[in-house]
Chains A and B, each alone.
Chain A
Amino acid sequence: MRNNFIILLLSLTALPSLAQMPELEPLSPEMKENASSIIRLDRTQVECASPTRARISYTRVVTILDKSGLDEADFVAYCDKFTQLKKFRAEAFSSTDKSLRKYKKSDLVRTEYSSHFATDNYYYILSAPQGFSYPFTMVFEWELEQKDNLAFFPSMNAFTSYDQSVQQCSYTLTAPQSMTIDCRAVNSFEPQTTLTTDEKKQTRTIHLSYPAIKAKEKEPYSPSFFESDLRRVLIRPQEFDFDGYPGRQRTWKEFGDWQLTLLAGRQQLPQEIKDKVHQLTDSLGSDRDKVRALYEYMGSMTRYVSIQLGIGGWQPMPASEVAATGFGDCKALSNFLHSLLAEVGIPSNYTVIRMGGSKSLLKDFACIGQMNHVILQVPLPGDTLWLECTNTMVPFGYVHEGIAGHDALVISSQGSHITALPSYPDSLNTDSYRAQVELQADGQARMTVSCRYGIDSYDSVYGLARLSPLKQKNFVSRDLSSSKVQVNSVTFTDVKNPVPEFSYNAEVDMSYANISGNRVFVPANVCRQAFRKLNSRRQRKSDIAVRQGYQQIDTIDIRWPEVFTFESRPQEKALDTEFGSFSAVIDVAEDRKSARIIHTLKMNQGIYPVGKYKDFCEFLEAVSKSYSSTFVLKK
């Protein structure tokens, strides 16, 4: 009985009751500026008992100021076979600190729901409460236990999104002195750091904190939050044991060595596949042709199925299993192609990369978790190929925009290393129109139009060729700025070269000119729409980022009927700025019955200082004005 009482007492004191709102610093008006939510307190405490075991306690207090911040009142705990949720409680408070509702662990929904086909992960979820008046505050306290996967510690995420202020954020990690633990802040936002040791317990404690951070508003053409504003600290043990696979990660080479141990013995192919490989390649002369043949063969016999089981999704399915099932994820398919190439003596390297977020890896700080994708590098002499094995519709030899220019870790027994994938110059990143317009007296027109897309634009349109004829026509119809378009015919061409190009040719009847009284307004370029308008009078806070440069050259020939008399034409323009260049060349024929318009826009990829904002607005405005300009004819 007495024991029961003690257990009861201990369980009651394990997490203090949230009978009242925790004492917090008062909110200053600046913290509310641009904010839809405020992290009042974000405290992480990691107690690492050994290289394979840790207990992590979190306290998070967030005030939701309006509906757009409501997602911040959601709770999600990510768990898997290595990580368990041990404790949870939460409470909602009104703006006057009145308790609105309490939540306990049994209120959480446990779900394995996943977009992957198979994964070890599961989640505990508490959906944001609906209907509370704003502002309200959510207090969350929870505890996770991690076993056998301490290749990394939870990162310190101090500032992770727009429209959110952070009042207090701290992180404390206590670990045995025998473990060497490193911290690395991304984006050079160094936290305040203190180190203490406890000789009696033989432990070392790292304490990290950030001063209050004011919310940042998302502005058009903002630099990537991930690369410019994110305050995150990555924390790694130099040596680790991940599900029985020990490793080191003091350098990327060491990390690569660990990855090699996961790949070992997974390249065996069944004999019939080996036979097929030789049947396909033995008669081919060059290694490049052989790689292409096997890349296409892999595409014809496999498909992408996301399977994230075991060792946190770091170990690929064996090549023999891919051969048997005809599917695999990026790891499995890259390893499979690697095995096919090995069969014909062509070396290749399993390559780990990040899609989305930042293009760069921290070159001086190796740690698991910076990458989320695998491709295959094939280092042919003077011609290194980077192959996307999950989608062989990507032209052979082309580095698609999701990975072009990204850092990658090439895994090699000769020494794994970071390298950057090639990227393409802005001038190859094109979409350009060529059109002939025959205007009629009622303002309607017949137009033959073609558009050519390269590189970045190619990635977003090449799927069009596979749509139904009706959907293809609807695409062309939406692509042109007109109140009514009738697409009579459309054809598509897909040139799958290392620098691929996609194009369409269409013949359309459309509403073209606007007849107002005795004047006819003929648009100069119905293929383009004005840029989204920026407010140049608004005080800009972020630098200006043009994340992707490109070039667009449009040539449009317009002929109008005899009944119309030429009156005026749009202004010609020639702009040359650091953001890019633009020219509008308008050539009216001698008989004044036709004109040629050539619009050439080149946008330069880059980050421009905030002080240039007005110039940037003026540049876009000038281009927009040309795109929406009109000829004036008399009826």
Chain B
Amino acid sequence: MKSFFFVLVSLFSVFYCFADDYSFKYGKVTDYELAMTSYAPDTSATAVYIYRNCDMKYVLKERFVLEAEHTVKVKVLKDDYVNKINLTLKGIQKTESITSISATVYNLVDGKVVKTKLSDRYIVKEKAGDGFRIKLAFPNVKIGSVVEYRYTRHTETPLRPADYNMQSGIPVVHSCVEFTYPEYFRFNIATAGYEKVDVSKKDGNASYQFKKGGAFIPCSTTQYTFVADSLPQMNLKDPMLFSPSEYRTHIVFELQSVNIPGRIPVLYNESWESVENRLLKSEYFGGWLGIKNPLAGKMAEIDFSALSVDEKVQSCLTLLKSVMNVKSSSKVMTGDPLKAFETGAGFSAQANFILMSMLRSLNIASVPVVLRQRSSGRLPLTSPTLNRLTDFVVCYLGADNRLRFVDTSTKSAVVNVLHSNNMTDRARMIKLGEYQPSSPSASEFDKIYALAPDAWLDLSTVSSFVEKRLVDITLTPDDKIKGVFTTLFSGNALEACMARFAKSKDSIDVLERKWNITITGFNLERKADKFVQTIEFEKNPGRVDNDILILDAVTFPVVTKSDFVEASRKFPIEISLQRTNISAVTLHLPQGYTVESVPESVMFSLEDKGMYCTMRVAADSQTVKVDYTNRIQRLIYKPEEYMNLKDYYSRLVEVNKTKILIRKPVKK
């Protein structure tokens, strides 16, 4: 009794603070809601969701149907939102329906509440792809309006609820999601995002009549309730995050299994092992593991005997990419790789299966490493899932007994250089088990598995962006700069380079404009795993003041502006790649010219050397040498480190702007 009283008091106190302000009950609008002109926690808010609720449960019709009743109340605070108030219910599948749409707009006019109901005329259904969208245009919405609406979505397949976003582009005062399911369903349910969500679980009972006229069969139910209050608005366009939506407060539902009386039980995602098992059993994944090598004939023309395992894999990758145009996959399960091969084009998943068949011909063990691309968000470790896997790369054991990775979606086609979107810190190696070929031997596969004992792999540092510049310049007596600028692009820099130099004619023009130089000679050469770009050029010094010449110390600045310009930061910062930029400049002076001033040598870094920069400057009577290095080693930074990054990049830009002053000889 005492504890009941305590609970009652607690509940009262929770709602009391809102009692005079907001109502979270559908159909009730408070005076406060109608009168409010701004939302105190965020006065810039153009509108605020007073509540955003969803009640989901399973209803047995001929089959189980998931019914989700959405109820929402939104207060319009600024003109900008008046034009955004229309609602579009997107991605409704053919197997779904929307019912019970209703909405009321409340306005305070001359002190009286005026209600306007949504007319059926302004509920528009629009076919889109295999499904449809429903659009609602709420009437008489103006600054100050309170708009309340509800609808129910009925879903036959898929039977799991979609992820529910509690947070939005405008603040949310209160969000409550209830999900009730019978014992026939098993779920992995998790909350994700940055804001606090209170989760409670309650057991209950229900009974279902599976046959018309049949008995009602009792079963137990589970009800989860998720409550979040005072959620701030969330910007979903954040260039410093791969997948900003990952940081939005949301609920993830993964269906593990369905076991309905009288029907065959279906296992979905009970564990990562069961996910792997489903993949291997699928004709669209496991079915392709044993395909015939379509390039066997061409491989027979290559003498692999003297090559190391890495050279063999590289040869296979090069050969495959020479005959097949490969595009990044969005699903790991894929159509027939051999059919795609015949057309000369396919997805990376298809190309990977062909590559594995090629490696098998050379008796090289290889396994798939499945992943979720960074732009789609991380894989949930505790919620095994097949739906969220988007691509895979191929893994084998290198000559140094370390794991090597091959990504057929890269343009550069170099072993151990991955597409940056595939360089996730959470990828999973698939153990082939009974799908393992008889050759190579099981022990060869076991060596690979042994290097990933829990199957999880971090691919984020497999490759990095490396650009090395060598600049040799001479100042001529007529105050011109002539020189040779050589750049070596390797790793992911090679990828970027291949995209940039798709048209060499344009690239010369781009380079001339970028560096403000006149190119007198240009050569771009692919050498194994790198590009070597050589530019012979002429340029004018930055400025000539009477007897002084001013030159950029690094000649070709590497970092000219900082992306860290915001006043503060709430979310972490994700850097795409480890990066090394090296620039070595040698400046030769003509007779009689002297060095008036050079920048001081500097070295600075973030605390843990996650990023560091050095510039060493040495000068003698006829030569100035500038060695510049900037390395990025750490890829994820906490929000509180934003100011450190801002300082670091500011210094980096300033270092790249430093000047050398040369005094000209006095004319006699």
Contact = CB atoms under 8 A, between A and B. Distances in A.
Given A131-B325, A483-B649, A538-B509, A326 B562 contact: no
B661 A109 contact: no
B78 A516 contact: no
A474 B567 contact: yes
Interface in B488-514: 502, 509, 512-514
A122 B139 contact: no
A131 B128 contact: no
Nearest to A570: B543
Contacts of A324: 139
Contacts of A109: 129
Given A132-B343, A326-B141, A516-B658, A470 B567 contact: yes
B137 A305 contact: yes
Contact of A325 (B44, B133, B137, B597): B137
Contacts of A483: 561-562, 649-654
A457 B401 CA distance: 62
Contacts of A519: 597, 659, 661
B513 A100 contact: no
Contacts of B553: 516
Interface string A526-556: 0000001111011000000000000000000
A66 B502 contact: yes
B3 interface: no
B44 A518 contact: no
A131 B345 contact: yes
A110 B345 contact: no
Interface in B56-80: 78-80
Interface in B95-126: 119, 122, 124, 126
B659 A521 contact: yes
Nearest to B135: A117
Interface in A403-429: none
- Interface size grouping (class) on chain B: 35 or more
Contact of B79 (A113, A393, A630): A393
Interface string B552-583: 01000000011001111000000000000000
B599 interface: yes
Contacts of A117: 86, 122, 124, 135, 137
Contacts of B654: 443, 483, 511, 514-515
A484 B650 contact: yes
A632 B80 CA distance: 47
Given A466-B78, A514-B659, A568 B42 contact: no
A396 B156 CA distance: 53
A304 B343 CA distance: 48
B142 interface: yes
Contacts of B650: 483-484, 511
Contacts of B652: 483
B443 interface: no
B231 to A, nearest CB: 16
Interface residues of A, number: 63
Interface string A121-161: 01000000011110000000000000000000000000000
Interface in A437-473: 443, 463, 466-471, 473
A481 to B, nearest CB: 8
B25 to A, nearest CB: 26
A130 B566 contact: no
B597 A516 contact: yes
A109 B44 CA distance: 42
A113 B128 contact: yes
Contacts of B141: 303, 326-327
Contacts of A478: 565
B137 A327 contact: yes
A585 B659 CA distance: 25
B447 interface: no
B85 to A, nearest CB: 8
B336 to A, nearest CB: 14
A111 interface: yes
A95 to B, nearest CB: 11
A517 interface: yes
B441 interface: no
B124 A118 contact: yes
A487 B133 contact: no
Nearest to A118: B124
A486 interface: yes
Report whether over half of chain A's contact residues are helix, strand or loop; otherwise say mixed: mixed
A300 B599 contact: no
A101 interface: yes
A160 to B, nearest CB: 23
B477 to A, nearest CB: 22
Contacts of B46: 466
B540 to A, nearest CB: 10
B566 A477 contact: yes
B565 A485 contact: yes
A474 B646 contact: no
A473 B346 contact: no
Nearest to B233: A468
Contact of A131 (B44, B346, B513, B653): B346
A477 B567 contact: yes
Contacts of A535: 509, 512-513
B327 interface: yes
B326 A326 contact: no
B139 A327 contact: yes
A188 to B, nearest CB: 32
B657 A514 contact: yes
Nearest to B518: A537
B600 interface: yes
A280 interface: no
B382 interface: no
Contacts of B127: 110-113, 122
B648 to A, nearest CB: 10
A484 B647 CA distance: 7
Contacts of B80: 463, 466
Nearest to A129: B345
A519 B659 CA distance: 9
Interface in B615-652: 646-647, 649-652
Given A484-B647, A511-B650, A130 B83 contact: no
A34 B309 CA distance: 44
Nearest to A469: B44
Contacts of B129: 109, 111, 113
A36 to B, nearest CB: 10
B29 interface: no
A617 to B, nearest CB: 11
Interface centre among B347, B651, B653, B657 (most CB of A within 10 A): B657
Interface string A490-534: 000000000000000000000100111111010000000000111
Contacts of A122: 127
A409 to B, nearest CB: 27
Nearest to A130: B327
A533 B516 contact: yes
A301 interface: yes
Given A117-B124, A466-B78, A534-B513, A133 B345 contact: yes
Nearest to A305: B137
B660 interface: yes
26 contacts: A111-B128, A111-B129, A112-B126, A117-B135, A118-B137, A131-B343, A131-B346, A132-B345, A133-B325, A301-B142, A305-B86, A325-B122, A325-B137, A326-B141, A326-B142, A443-B654, A466-B78, A483-B653, A486-B567, A514-B657, A516-B553, A516-B661, A519-B597, A519-B659, A521-B657, A568-B548
Closest 7 CB pairs of A and B: A131-B345, A468-B44, A483-B653, A484-B650, A517-B597, A326-B140, A483-B650
Interface of B: 42, 44, 46, 78-80, 82-83, 85-86, 119, 122, 124, 126-129, 133, 135, 137, 139-143, 325-327, 340, 343-347, 502, 509, 512-514, 516, 518, 543, 545-546, 548, 550, 553, 561-562, 565-568, 597-600, 646-647, 649-654, 657-661
Given A517-B661, A521-B657, 4 more contacts: A67-B502, A303-B83, A327-B139, A327-B141
